[in-house]
Structure 1
Amino acid sequence: MKRLSHSLMLALLGLRDLLLSAGPLALIAVGVLVAAYVYLDPQPPRTVRLATGPQGSAYAAFGERYAAALQTNGIRVELIPTDGALDNLRLLREGRADLGFVRGGVADPVADPEAGIQSLGALFYEPLWVFYRPASLRRIQPERSSAAPAELPSLAGLRGLRVGTDRPGSGVPDLVGRMLSANRVDVSRLRIVAQPAEEAAAGLVAGRLDAIVLASASESPRVQQLLRTPGIALLDLGQAEAYTRIFPFLSVVTLPRGVVDLAADVPARDVALVATTTSLLTREDTHPALRQLFAQAAQTLHSHAGWFNRAREFPNTRASELPVISEGDRAINGTPPVWQRWLPFWASNLLERMWLVIGGLIVLLLPLSRVVPPLYTFRVRRRVFRWYARLRDIEARMDAGETPRETLLDELDELDRVANKVTVPLAYAEELYALRHNIEQARRRLLQRHRTPDNVGSANVTIDLQ
């Protein structure tokens, strides 16, 4: 038991010496890491603001999905209801939202990036839906009621109809105005009512409106309801390709026959539409870790096939009007780091934000670590060598002959007792035994020096007696 206790003490002393020897390097490493942590601020805030859209819109539905996705990482997404894309962009510009859904043609491709607003990638198509009542076309042409066309030929055919659009904050009235102007239609002379999309849809179904123009993803409940409502038709935009040449932010999309309802064959034929591409915009001062989480969530939420796209066509960086920020580009076009698959979010994020600092610290500490073994050796030997100064002092006074022998012997005995209590690792036991040997040699010299005069005197006495 005593031997075990002694071995344990030796191990603890060796560990203490090692820790004290490496202490300066550890302090340097901790100091650098703390400074880098404070400067880089790798851990994101626990709350982020996302500007969505009106209640019941596709934007609002996607906002709920993002909130659920980020909740798994402990991030609370504060959903901000708005009138639509214009409102979302305004909140981003004012710094009252961290991220927001914004459709193409709304943001300024020059001013907004300079103001620190960038994209995390294009998420989905947002077609321009023009729903109308075929019966209203005969109402505006009573003299040709029997021969009036049952279909709206183009946007120019909205003349004379009661048209409803989404509220101004959505950006739809502005887009419709630009497209009608391209058709040389005086917008001021049309009966256009800007109101919430749900009110416009209800007005169309009830007959208070003849047509409505909406811009929304196919997931919108209102769009799906109107596509299935009898007496409501969808404009087949035969000039779709021409619109994309005039307005570069528009794309041609096709609503395939039967995609809404195969059994009922809705729609009964392919329908050509124009669509903007909705992107998830963010401010540059939004924490990088939050941008990364949203970009990764977008990969899951928008990569499935839809009415207008095949699987994995979205998200993408091709259809985004604004520059795509690095987190978005890496999530869409890159390969996620291996550690993201195995580490929790906080650890993965910490490693990703500080890997350069950690790598630089390793490069710095590798050459500095060479001083640890000499420091360790010095600390262990110091426990032995410190007593050589006392031994040298005793020997100096012994050579001077001014100190009594008994006093010097007592000091040597005390020094020997102290040396016996010194504990060093076995690898350095040689220095300890050398100290104890030198103490014994000094004792013998002292005894031999004081014994010699007595022996000589005894011999002299013997000679005289003879």
Structure 2
Amino acid sequence: MGSFKENVKETFLGLSESAQEKRIDFIQFLQETWPLLIFLLMVLMGIWWYADPPPPRHVLMASGSSGGSYEVLGKKYVEYFAKKGVVLELMPTNGAQENLARLSDRNDPVQAAFVQAGVAHPKSVSGIQSLGAVDYEPIWFFYRGPEVKGSDLRVLHGNAKFFANHKISIGVEGSGTHTQAMRIVKATGIDRANLQFLNFSGDQVVNALKSGEIDGAIIVDAIESKNIQALLADPSFHLLTFRRAEAFTKVIPYLQILDVPEGSFNLVRDFPSENIKLVATTTNLLIDDRMHPAIQFLFLQAATEINGRESFFAKRGEFPSFKDSLLPESPVAVHYEQNRYPLIANYLPFWLAELANRLIFILLPFLLISYPMLRSLPGYRTRLMRNKINRLYSELKAFEYELLANFDISQREEYLKKLDLLEYQALTIQVSRRLASECYSLRTSIDYVRNCLNRGVQPYQIVQADPGMQAPTEQVTQAPPL
């Protein structure tokens, strides 16, 4: 028994030889089967290309009403898509209900839209999936005139002093603002008999407030909206605080509480004059469920780049998320949330990364399936290698027949050269171990014919009888059958 060191050395030597043998066998496999592999790959790629076409270069997105935060956010997405070589076209709409209707319409070219959480009920829409929430949309209540006491704004037992005597805009019917406003009105139980609710769009409500046409307005929009910024910058408007914010989030579960510290909107005029709470819904990025996965990944990347930054209300990396998703989540978004985009996308342009990613996902399974499948084909490789041996046997047999019919002693050197060529071809045949004996048998047969040619009396030559002697029987000696 050898020493431990010798045993370890022999073990590693055996493993190395086995790995080398497998490597050589695999290379030989590729050399022998590459036409079949290419054919199978082309068939597979054709099926894959038909079943999963490349992503489109032009995408339509509903952006909502003019002047709103969706328009501002949508333009940022347009710039991001342009860097990736994709045209994202924004389509202005009248609000959330139109966005949902267009996404649900299987004949409408719109494939994406920003919609507030809570606007769409899962049972009322179909063919729509969510890529997650991408931003907060506070529910703002601005009013003009002198500041009103909190008790006058609070709704108790269906009554509120402020609302009974003033004109309030609650957004255009069909918009997200109108939907959220009506849910709050319903949740508070306010008596609507004496209310003066008006419907102004986002870009109209600021002018209506400034002109005195209305006394207050409920607006659901992001803080970056130019309408919200115009109202926050005007000292003649006051902002309602939701003192019962926690109660609202219990009654309307998708709402979030946002804390606004004193003076955070404007330190110079100390606005707000105290810490306040706002309730907010979220901006959901909704898509047609038939959208190409690569475009979904691109939207999610854009959301991470644009909405994942720290903002007035959001922490860094807070969006995109599924914190209040009421609609079915896209499987692509779930995968992205867990794994992010493949690393290759960080180093290659979008189209090249997408092509490489698609090829990787088809080539790897193809190699994993085709290699063992082709190796397991009954006798495929054995027949392939044996055919090479048999072809040389056929050439050797034809050569012997030629010697029998037309043997010329002066051509002996040429005959030997031809045998040397046959032997070289036999040496260069790459065969598996189990067929090595047949290869050696072929070389033995070639060597037998060479020995016959090198004899003093050639076995392939007809021997003529001497005239003075009894004629012997003509005899032809040839190599044993192969």
TM-score (norm 1): 0.78
> Structure 1's 425 and 260: CA in aligned 2 closer, same or farther, altered over 3 A?
farther
**1:38 partnered with 2:50:** yes
Pairing 1:377-396 to 2, within 5 Å after superposition: 377=385, 381=389, 384-394=392-402
Supply the distance in 1 between the matched residues of 2:33 and 2:361 (Cα, whole angstroms): 27
Q: In 1, are the aligned partners of 2:452 and 2:458 still within 8 Å (CA)?
A: no
> Structure 1's 205 and 48: CA in aligned 2 closer, same or farther, altered over 3 A?
same
Supply the distance in 1 between the matched residues of 2:362 and 2:257 (Cα, whole angstroms): 48
Q: Residue 372 of structure 2 aligns with which residue?
A: 367
Q: Residue 4 of structure 2 aligns with which residue?
A: none
Give the counterpart of 1:94 among 105, 129, 135.
105
Give, in angstroms, the shift of residue 86 of structure 1. 2.0
Q: Residue 69 of structure 1 aligns with which residue?
A: 80
Give, in angstroms, the shift of residue 242 of structure 1. 2.2
Secondary structure of 1:130's counterpart equals strand
Q: Residue 218 of structure 2 aligns with which residue?
A: 213
The number of residues matched between the two structures is 423
Q: Runs of 5+ in structure 2 lacking a partner?
A: 1-26, 430-438, 472-482
| Letter paired with 1:30 | M
Q: In 1, are the aligned partners of 2:297 and 2:341 still within 8 Å (CA)?
A: no
Deviation string 1:26-75 (CA, Å, 9 cap, x unpaired) is 3223322332332233x211111211112221101111111111222221
Q: In 2, are the aligned partners of 1:121 and 1:328 still within 8 Å (CA)?
A: yes
Give the counterpart of 1:108 among 121, 130, 134.
121
Give the counterpart of 2:308 among 296, 303, 307.
303
Which stretches of structure 1, 4 residues or more, deviate above 6 A after TM superposition? 410-423, 429-434, 443-446
Supply the distance in 1 between the matched residues of 2:292 and 2:320 (Cα, whole angstroms): 21
Deviation string 1:398-425 (CA, Å, 9 cap, x unpaired) is 4xxxx6xxx4439988977876887848
Report percent identity of matched pairs.
Answer: 26
| Letter paired with 2:397 | A
Q: Which moved more, 1:122-131 or 1:263-272?
A: 263-272
Greater percentage in helix: 1
Give, in angstroms, the shift of residue 215 of structure 1. 0.5
Secondary structure of 2:310's counterpart equals coil
Q: Which has the higher contact order (CA 8 A, sep 6+)?
A: 1
> Structure 1's 332 and 448: CA in aligned 2 closer, same or farther, altered over 3 A?
closer
> Structure 1's 253 and 452: CA in aligned 2 closer, same or farther, altered over 3 A?
closer
Supply the distance in 1 between the matched residues of 2:64 and 2:396 (Cα, whole angstroms): 83
TM-score (norm 2): 0.76
Q: Residue 198 of structure 1 aligns with which residue?
A: 203
> Structure 1's 162 and 460: CA in aligned 2 closer, same or farther, altered over 3 A?
closer
Give, in angstroms, the shift of residue 288 of structure 1. 1.2
Q: In 1, are the aligned partners of 2:66 and 2:202 still within 8 Å (CA)?
A: no
Q: In 1, are the aligned partners of 2:245 and 2:257 still within 8 Å (CA)?
A: yes
Q: Residue 23 of structure 1 aligns with which residue?
A: 35
Deviation string 1:171-213 (CA, Å, 9 cap, x unpaired) is 3223323322333434353222212222111111122221111
Pairing 1:232-381 to 2, within 5 Å after superposition: 232-350=237-355, 352-353=357-358, 357-368=362-373, 370=375, 377=385, 381=389
Supply the distance in 2 between the matched residues of 1:339 and 1:458 (Cα, whole angstroms): 94
Secondary structure of 1:441's counterpart equals helix
Give, in angstroms, the shift of residue 230 of structure 1. 2.0
Give, in angstroms, the shift of residue 377 of structure 1. 4.7
Supply the distance in 2 between the matched residues of 1:270 and 1:250 (Cα, whole angstroms): 19
| Letter paired with 1:289 | A
Q: In 2, are the aligned partners of 1:109 and 1:321 still within 8 Å (CA)?
A: yes
Q: In 2, are the aligned partners of 1:295 and 1:327 still within 8 Å (CA)?
A: no
Secondary structure of 1:199's counterpart equals helix
| Letter paired with 1:128 | I
Supply the distance in 2 between the matched residues of 1:344 and 1:372 (Cα, whole angstroms): 42
Secondary structure of 1:224's counterpart equals helix
Supply the distance in 2 between the matched residues of 1:316 and 1:21 (Cα, whole angstroms): 49
Q: In 2, are the aligned partners of 1:121 and 1:280 still within 8 Å (CA)?
A: yes
Q: Which moved more, 1:339-348 or 1:243-252?
A: 339-348
Q: In 2, are the aligned partners of 1:21 and 1:376 still within 8 Å (CA)?
A: no
> Structure 1's 341 and 372: CA in aligned 2 closer, same or farther, altered over 3 A?
farther
> Structure 1's 302 and 78: CA in aligned 2 closer, same or farther, altered over 3 A?
same
Secondary structure of 2:235's counterpart equals coil
| Letter paired with 1:388 | L
